[in-house]
Structure 1
Amino acid sequence: MANPSKRVGTEWESAVRAYLREHHNPETRRNVQIGRADIGDLDGYYLHAAECKDEQRITLAEYIAQANREAINARQPYGCAVVKRRRANVSAGYVVRDLATDVRLVSRLRDAEQTLQDIAPTVYADHIARHGEGH
């Protein structure tokens, strides 16, 4: 690949894809961009259009604006930027979204867990045990 910036970006996208395949969704794939309606770099990060960024200068406002536009194009409810942390493993990368998006996501999770707890308390207890309350 002739463009070094493109190569770095592709390597980061591939690393994030591999991490998500192992820990989240084995069907995660890199998107092929066609036309002007970009849909994010990765498909398969549940409910998200994910824009992967590995740049020396981090510009969060630009990343979030781009991710939110791409979420609309991808027909996903949430956009996020997955930003590389320098000299760190892919798992230490940052997932960034604006507060409004995060509140919508956390509210959805809260409501879903409350519904599960109300309807199936033992399934809810198993869910909490499986996902842990710490790390």
Structure 2
Amino acid sequence: MVNRNKAKGTLWESSVRDYLNKVLGLVDETGAFRDPFSAHNVRRAAQEGAKDVGDIHCPPFILECKHVRNPAVPTWLRQAEVEAKHARFPYGVAVVKVPWANTASGRVHFTVRTWTRVRLALGHTTRDMRELYAFTPTIRGLRTDRWYLTCSLRDFAQVLTDMRTSRVEGGIDAVHGRALTLW
């Protein structure tokens, strides 16, 4: 018997992966990777062992994908950050399906801490970051661990492109001035 919720979640993960690979130019017109060995390819993670490593590996991000009716964004963000640590990636974000909308309209949620780290890596001011990528804040009470910033998956693809191009110039980390191995 097929679990309908699991099937919907798997379909959402695959849609996010395929969308990002396409808009980032990592696949050809048939959907095959241009370079199957590239560390920049976006892939669904195989779950192995006790420590979950996220749904999608999208260097330097781990994406925790959700296709649910009742949102629990702060919980999902905590989960994404734990999974990013397990996978040894610097950033974890949650990607949530918007009902009756296309994949590009999915919502990508960042904790304030992750958003700030990405902003600093890109060298943007708070205002520039919000304007360039259409981020909107959600502030819930006085507890900052429940605050987060959100953009569309379309805008996240631009964040990702800018992260990859600003950090790597000739194998040198543009922010820290040292040789890169991998994210």
TM-score, normalising length: structure 2: 0.58
Higher alpha-carbon deviation: 85-94 or 19-28: 19-28
| 1:87-106 aligned within 5 A | 87-106=100-119
Q: 1 or 2, which has the higher helix percentage?
A: 1
Shift of 1:2: 0.9
Letter in 2 for 1:30: R
RMSD of equivalent CA atoms:
1.9
Is the strand fraction higher in 1 or 2?
Answer: 2
Instruction: Please give the secondary structure, in 2, of the residue aligned with 1:97.
Output: strand
| 2:93 maps to which of 54, 71, 80 | 80
Q: For residues 82 and 74 of structure 1, what CA distance do their matches in structure 2 show?
A: 17
Match of 1:28 in 2: 42
Question: Which of the residues 44, 47, 53 maps onto 2:66?
Answer: 53
TM-score, normalization by structure 1: 0.78
Q: Provide, for residues 65-119 of structure 1, a one-character-per-residue CA deviation record: whole Å limited to 9, x for no partner.
A: 1000001001111100011011100000011011011001110111799xx7xxx
- Unmatched runs of 5 consecutive residues or more in structure 2: 27-40, 125-161, 167-183
What secondary structure does 1:58 align onto?
A: coil
Paired with 2:53 and 2:69, the residues of 1 have a C-alpha distance of: 23
Rounded Cα–Cα distance in structure 1 between residues aligned with 2:44 and 2:90 = 19
Mapped pair 1:64 → 2:83: no
Q: Which residue identity is paired with 1:96? A: H
- 2: distance between equivalents of 1:38 and 1:24? 26
* Other-structure match for 1:4: 4
Structure 1 residues 12 and 108 mapped into 2: Cα distance closer, same or farther (>3 Å)?
same
Q: CA deviation at 1:25?
A: 6.1
SS in structure 2 at match of 1:52: strand
Separation of aligned partners in 2, 1:101 and 1:34: 26
1:6 is paired with a residue whose SS is: helix
| Contact 2:42–2:59 (CA under 8 A) maintained in structure 1 | no
Q: Percent identity?
A: 37
Distance 1:89 1:24, change over 3 A: same
Name the CA shift for 1:90/1:75 in 2 (closer, same or farther; >3 Å): same
Query: How far apart are residue 35 of structure 1 and its match?
Result: 1.5
Using the alignment, how far apart are the partners of 1:25 and 1:51 within structure 2?
A: 22
Distance in 2 separating the partners of 1:25 and 1:5: 30
